[in-house]
Amino acid sequence: MATKVSTVGDKTSGPTWWRYRYWLLFIVWFAYTIQYLDRVKTTTLIPLIMSSIGLSHADVGNGIFLMMIFYGPAQFVSGILCDKYGAKKVLIFSIIAWSILTAWMAFMNSATEWYIRSAIFGVCVGTEFVPSARLLARWFPPRQRAQAQSILSWAWIVTPAWAPLVATLLVALLGGWRPVFLVVALIGLIPFAMILWFVYDRPEQCKWVNEQELKESYEIELLTGFLTEDNIKYRKISDLKVKEAQVPFSKILHSPGFIPITIVDVASQMTLWGVLTWSATYLKEVFGFSLVAMGAWASVYFIGGALGAFGSSWISDTLLKTRRKPMIMLSFAGTIPFILILALVKPGISPYTLVFILAGAGFFANMSWGPFLSWPADVFSPEVYGKAMGFMQCFGYIGGAFAPLIMSRLIVSTQTGTSYVYAWLFIAICAFTGLTASAMVRDKVAA
């Protein structure tokens, strides 16, 4: 008979609302935000870097492409390492590598160095996401899992809204772009120390986690009888038990719904990187916004995205009782019309209408993150989350690398201005592909 366990959200779940896993969530979100800052900051400062060391537009594009191409396979490798050696070790390596490579930017003097640094950055810092998401998959029960993953997603959704302002202020304060990279590299010491002292691979390893929280983290394992109350009480979850929960990758690969959820990842990444790369330039070239106005208006998309990501995840965790498929489908279905409107809208549109379009596109396009990032842990096990998510992200980031490149070929300059119609239609096609794939996803609902 399965052991009865109080579910997260029950009034009997503990004496207080606080759980150590919320602190862990803050740490991994903060660490990922700091690491993601480099990408946004570098993009913002590219004009200064180009004029300083003589980079061409092609050099910049090639460097970013190199980073993304190497970043993808690094996700899969880091996932395997996480499952075998623990997410904490991989995350510490990622933070150290990120700080070193960020500092290197301050001393860069040629296009060759830019290429080399971009490739190494992709390989080394591609180890940042999977361990972060795997920690959340292990620590959070299914009824909070998507919400936790959505908060992690704020690192890449919200950071583009504020990082450019910080980067330009630091340049003004420090008198150039090179010191900015040194300052930001030093900031990496903060998440490094937090991970070293406060992050644990498993909740039973942390002395600040009480028995009730431990039961919540292993809720499904207790409900299915895989673990017993004694395992929790005495904090004895043997390596043998962990190995029993392992699923061969061949079985993961052939599981119904895994290839579709991987395509969902690819579609989400292509949409994100396409919008992230070209939205601000679109506002400037089509609507004639100033640099400041361009950044402010582009941020509307990301603010809408933060709300959409968490809202859909809360619905998935609570109202839909851990079903992920409906919110993933709604994400793509809602994205398509807003992207099509962006493709067809003309200069002279009401500012309020433009705000609505940007916010709506951001809201729906980012609804899928929490649900699909939770799916591998729900369907397989948190113990194999690394290799499953690593595989998904590998192809997701390869797709993300090509999206801005493809869009750049579809932007048409004419005598009357610049047209983004075909570029946005391409993103709409990506969203339609994601919608089609999400219809084939199969959920495994928590008991």
Domain ranges of the chain: 20-202+237-438
Quote the pLDDT of residue 235.
Answer: 84
**Amino acid symbol at 163:** A
pLDDT per residue as tens digits for the range 206-258: 999 999 999 999 999 999 888 888 888 888 876 666 777 788 899 999 999 99
**DSSP at 418:** E
Per-residue CA distances from 324 to 10, 152, 357, 425 (Å)? 21, 17, 26, 27
pLDDT per residue as tens digits for the range 358-393: 999 999 999 999 999 999 999 999 999 999 999 999
Quote the pLDDT of residue 11.
Answer: 39
> Taking the alpha carbons of 195, 196, 200, 206 in that order, is the dihedral positive or negative?
negative
With cut-offs at 50, 70 and 90, classify the pLDDT of residue 25: very high
Per-residue CA distances from 34 to 45, 46, 146, 150 (Å)? 16, 19, 22, 17
> How far, in whole angstroms, is CA 341 from its chain's centroid?
26
Is the pLDDT at 289 greater than 80? The verdict is: no
What topology is assigned to 20-202+237-438 in CATH?
Answer: Growth Hormone; Chain: A; (1.20.1250)
pLDDT per residue as tens digits for the range 3-18: 333 443 443 444 588 9
Quote the pLDDT of residue 95.
Answer: 96
Quote the pLDDT of residue 5.
Answer: 39
Estimate the share of the chain in helix, then strand, then coil, as percent rounded to the nearest 5. 75, 0, 20
Q: Which helix (H) or strand (E) holds 414?
A: strand 412-414
Q: Are 390 and 380 in contact (CB under 8 A)?
A: no
Q: Are 303 and 359 in contact (CB under 8 A)?
A: yes
Is the pLDDT at 285 greater than 50? The verdict is: yes
Percent of the chain past pLDDT 90, that is, above it, reads 65
